[in-house]
Every structure is written in C-alpha cells, then in structure tokens.
C-alpha cells in the first residue's frame, strides 16, 4: 500500500476563489486571499494512501479480499471499461479546520470562509498529485487512468464510504469515518480511479477529462463550474 505526502507549494487562486464563491467577483482584498493561502500551506499536513485492485466490469465488482459490488449507477458506468481500480484516500489533516473554527469564534468570518476554501483547494491539489503518481505508474503498464470518482458524487450512495476508506487503507493516514459516513478530518477525500486499456473508439475523452461538477446534483453550489 503506497503512502505519499503531497506538497502544497502553490494554491491556485482561481480555485480558492471558486470554492469561496468569488469566481465572478472582480474586486476583493488580495491580502485576505494571500493570507488564507499562506495559512493553508503552512498548516496542511497532506497525506495520501491507495491500493490497486482488479476490477470485474461485468459484475461491477472491486476484487478486493472482500469483493465490493458497485451499484448500477453512474459509478459502474464510469468504470464499465476498467480492468483495475485504484482506491485512494487523501487528507490534509485536522489543523486547518480547527483554525477555521478559531476564526469564526473570533468573529473573523471572512478569513474563516477563505481558509476553509483554501483547505478544499489544498486537499484537491493533494489528491491531484497522488492521482498523477497512480497515473504514471499505470501508464507504464499501458493503462489509461480515468478521473477520480468519489462516494456521494453522481448518485453514488455515500454510505459506501466506510468500505471505500477501508480499501484505500485510509486508517494508515489517520482518516476515520463517522456513523453518518462523513470523513474525519473533514478536509479528506476518498475516490476510485479506473484503470482501462488504451483502446480506440471508447468514449474515454470525457471520462478522462470529465468535470466532477457535471456529476453533482448540487446545482446551486457556489463552487459549481459553469
């Protein structure tokens, strides 16, 4: 089971603005955005773990020691051509969310909100880096990797979260899951990445480059991409 500690050397300002609902805002104090970025970079402790399993597309089953059947929803369609799957867990640790709470308790709401958004940006960046590692290793063997798909997206029932976290060995990087299927620390992600053959004429492009927002039912989300 690989363990990787991603680096958070730069946070995309456009992503921070998106997650804080500022995408269309033309004037906002830059120093507040910079401050949130700096704090997120300093206190994040990004970690990722993952495991690669065989995948039986015909039965939509992850062939882990205890096989996990996936429901006949978007996730199984997404993995319809996959031969293997990487199950991944990523976190930036609990420090950031504690600081967000501190800011709110000190009535510094704006910094609290921006730091929360910076935390989301950071954990997504960490996940991107871990996925890149998986992708390059998979590419060496001729596999193409699909974009990561998380429990809760695209009508994939969030109640699968404990099994997915377990398959990713999330406990090794101190991620736990509540009885209501929420990840702790909150700035954590689990996902499944399909590994498929590079076969022409498959509708891979949209699977490789697909937008997660397209799969999400939260049409009023402030962070939704147009």
Partner 1 sequence: MIYIFDGAMGTMLQNAGLPPGYCPELWNQEQPAVITAIHKSYIDSGSDIIETNTFGANRIKLTHYGLEEKVALLNTAAVQAARAACGPATKIAGSVGPTGKLIVPLGDLSFDDAYNVFFEQISALDQAGVDMILIETIIDIQEMRAALLAAKAASKKPVICQMSFGADERTVTGTDPVTATIILEAMGADIIGVNCSLGPAQLLPIVEKIAQTTNCPISVQANAGMPSLINKQTVFPMQPEEMGHWAKKLVAAGARYVGGCCGTTPHHIKSIYQAVKHLSLSDLPTVQLAKKFTALTSRSKTIYLGADHPTVIIGERINPTGRKQLAADIASGQFISVKKEALSQIRAGAQLLDVNMGVPGIDQAKAMQYAIQELSMLVDVPLVIDTTDVNALEAGLKAYPGRALINSVSAEPERLESFLPLAKKYGAAILCLPISPAGVPKTAQDRLVVIQEIIHKAFEIGLKPGDFVLDALILTAAADARAGLEALATLKLYRQHLGYPTTMGLSNISFGLPRRDIINATFCAMALDAGLDAPILNPYDPLMQQTLAASALLLGNDPSGRSYSVNYAPTSQSEERAVPLTPKNIIEQIHLAIVSGEKEAVVPLVEQALREGHGSIEISEQALTTAMNKVGIAFGNGQCFLPQVLLAAESMRAAFLTIKKELPAHATTSLGTIILATVKGDIHDLGKNIVAALLENNGFTVIDLGKDISPEKIVEKALEHKADIVGLCALMTTTMPQIDHTIAALKAAGCSAQTIVGGAVLTQEYANQANADSYAANGVDAVTIAKNFMADKAQ
Q: Note the residues at the interface with partner 1 (CB under 8 A).
A: 2-5, 7-9, 20-22, 24-25, 28-29, 32, 34, 38, 41-43, 83, 100-101, 104, 107-110, 112-114, 116, 132-133, 136, 139-143, 152, 158-159, 178-182, 184, 186, 196-199, 218, 220-222
E strand or H helix at 151? none
Is residue 90 a contact partner of residue 176, using CB atoms and an 8 Å limit? no
Nearest residue (CB) to partner 1, 28 versus 211:
28
Q: How many CA atoms lie within 13 A of 43 on its CB side?
A: 18
Rounded to the nearest whole angstrom, what is the least distance from the CB of residue 47 to partner 1 in the complex?
10
For partner 1, which is the closer residue by CB, 87 or 100? 100
Give the Cα separation of 74 and 31 in Å (integer): 41
Nearer of residues 43 and 60 to partner 1, judged by Cβ: 43
3/59 with CB nearer partner 1? 3
Please name the residues in contact with 97: beta carbons below 8 A apart, sequence gap of 6 or more: 116, 119, 185, 186, 187
Tell me how far, at minimum, the Cβ of 2 lies from partner 1, in Å: 8
Measured CA to CA, the distance from residue 189 to residue 123 in angstroms comes to 7
């Amino acid at each position: 089971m690989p363990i990787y500690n991603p680096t958070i050397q730069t946070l995309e300002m456009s992503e921070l603005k998106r997650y804080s609902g500022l995408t269309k805002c033309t004037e906002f104090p830059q120093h507040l955005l910079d401050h949130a970025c700096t704090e997120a970079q300093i206190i994040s402790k990004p970690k990722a773990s993952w495991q690669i399993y065989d995948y039986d597309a015909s039965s939509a089953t992850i062939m882990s020691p205890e096989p996990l059947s996936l429901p006949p929803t978007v996730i199984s369609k997404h993995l319809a051509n996959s031969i293997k799957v990487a199950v991944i867990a990523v976190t930036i640790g609990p420090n950031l969310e504690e600081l967000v709470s501190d800011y709110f308790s000190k009535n510094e709401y704006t910094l609290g909100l921006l730091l929360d958004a910076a935390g989301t940006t950071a954990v997504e960046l960490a996940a991107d880096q871990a996925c890149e590692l998986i992708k390059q290793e998979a590419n060496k063997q001729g596999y193409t990797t699909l974009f990561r798909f998380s429990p809760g997206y695209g009508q994939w029932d969030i109640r699968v979260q404990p099994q997915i976290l377990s398959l990713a060995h999330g406990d090794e990087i101190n991620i736990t899951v509540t009885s209501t299927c929420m990840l702790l620390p909150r700035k954590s992600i689990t996902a499944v990445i399909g590994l498929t053959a590079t076969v022409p004429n498959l509708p891979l492009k949209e699977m490789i480059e697909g937008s997660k927002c397209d799969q999400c039912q939260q049409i009023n989300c402030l962070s939704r991409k147009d």
